[in-house]
Amino acid sequence: MDCIFCKIINNEIPSKTIYEDEIVKVILDINPNADGHMLIIPKNHIDDFTKLDDNTLLHINKIANKMKDLIYNKLDNIKGLVLLNNYGEFQEVKHYHLHILPNGFNTKTKEIDEIYNELIS
């Protein structure tokens, strides 16, 4: 399979991993729209949200809440989050993933390595 997220999950492509368990991997977006822009990616290849089983969806929401806490505790001046899932022709990578965008879109002020270090410290 030629899925970039599957390759990231299998460590064939490096990533800035923030969290990982048996169901999901959370990484920083390589082209962030915001400081702390994360992706929650299920480890099983699931094309889109219409094919998510209830347990995986519940787990993704649980991890999104954990990442919210991490973002609020580690990053400065957080006013809110945007949770986003693209579907159809707007879904660039055909592997379900949930975007977490602290402070919304176009709020990037720092380099990804600096944000990564703040989040994992």
Catalytic residue among 37, 59, 95, 97: 97
**Residues contacting 14, CB < 8 A, separation 6+:** none
Position 116, amino acid: Y
* Residue 97 annotated as catalytic: yes
Tokens of residue 53, six digits: 């089983």
Strand locations in 21-97 (E): 24-28, 38-42, 81-84
Which residues have a Cβ under 8 Å from the Cβ of 83 and sit 6 or more positions away?
64, 98, 99, 100, 101
Asked if 37 and 105 count as a contact pair (C-beta separation under 8 A), the reply is no
Q: What residues are annotated to the active site?
A: 97
